[in-house]
Structure 1
């Protein structure tokens, strides 16, 4: 299914079906396992920078499952291309490049960062409601960027699929910046909004100002997503830079 630009601009998110070829999808699972193994063998300082272990995060996000029960499960592996350079293939994936080009109305695009986020079976953590612009990790100084979730396993509502408040992106940059500086919270229930349910190999494009979040994964299936943030070339970036920062999105 081609990218629906009208839906993206109206709702603040969009899904591209069957975007990742089966062979690349299978390879990504192997690359991720290898990357996690490599990251676990790094120094404590490097792990603190690039790994978010479930056991180190609040129990409340896992619906009360204790740290002792989750072992060494990884929630986020940051700077993904540092540990598995093969993931740079996503920056040449036709469906991803085409969708980003349409959404950002530019052919001059660069990657900002890439990570892998895993919601493990039965305790994969909830993610609170938020906007991606501005963010405290690596953000553009304006909203000419987006995030793409590359779904390795697909997302189902009971598996903690990302949920959106359609139309909530229709605020100007100044409003979003002031909201962030003021520490505003978005007090919506975990299952508010609309779930972006999708299959393995689908893409979910996320407008930087749409309010989104996700409940915990309460099912028996792992939910792995590779997250790519990309934006218009030449825009000033603020925050941590990764191995992939500045790489061009090109076919």
Structure 2
């Protein structure tokens, strides 16, 4: 099994604290694999033939390489350590949204990132031409285009663990649809009240967890009706 790995092969190996670390194979036999890590090139780690290792490339962890690509499906090696490393590197430069095919991954930054949700940014995503930039407004626009172009009801599924940012994401989707679905491109008082009611609804039936003081203990369904089936918005 280990004979497939040659000297100098770049790999990921399991680590108790870092989960995965970057390493390079020194020697590989049928009984063991000896590697050196990037963090400590002088140290040696001996791996058994059945221990999990994954191939990596230099561009999976450099800021100029594939780690900053907007879509994880474009990674050379698509596996757990490559995905986690790419998300971490994007997170470090405040790129909290990443595509993996049609799915949008959001990483809670636990801080305010200036300008990412401004109204100008929101309006820039309201377009008949789909954007390739990963953003919650992009996903919202894809849903809105489905309403405009195909006149079919659309569903946005938002999922994640406690404290992942589901509630905030829901509010941004609702904000986008409220603005895009208005006839003049402005949020009305009624639409604004709907958006502001979300924190009140979120307060019912919730409990405290280790990561979130106000965590949902139930699934939540929200339905927005944008006028009649043949409604007209200047953004359609």
TM-score where L is the length of structure 2: 0.30
* Larger RCO, structures 1/2 (Cα 8 Å, 6+ apart): 1
Larger radius of gyration: 2
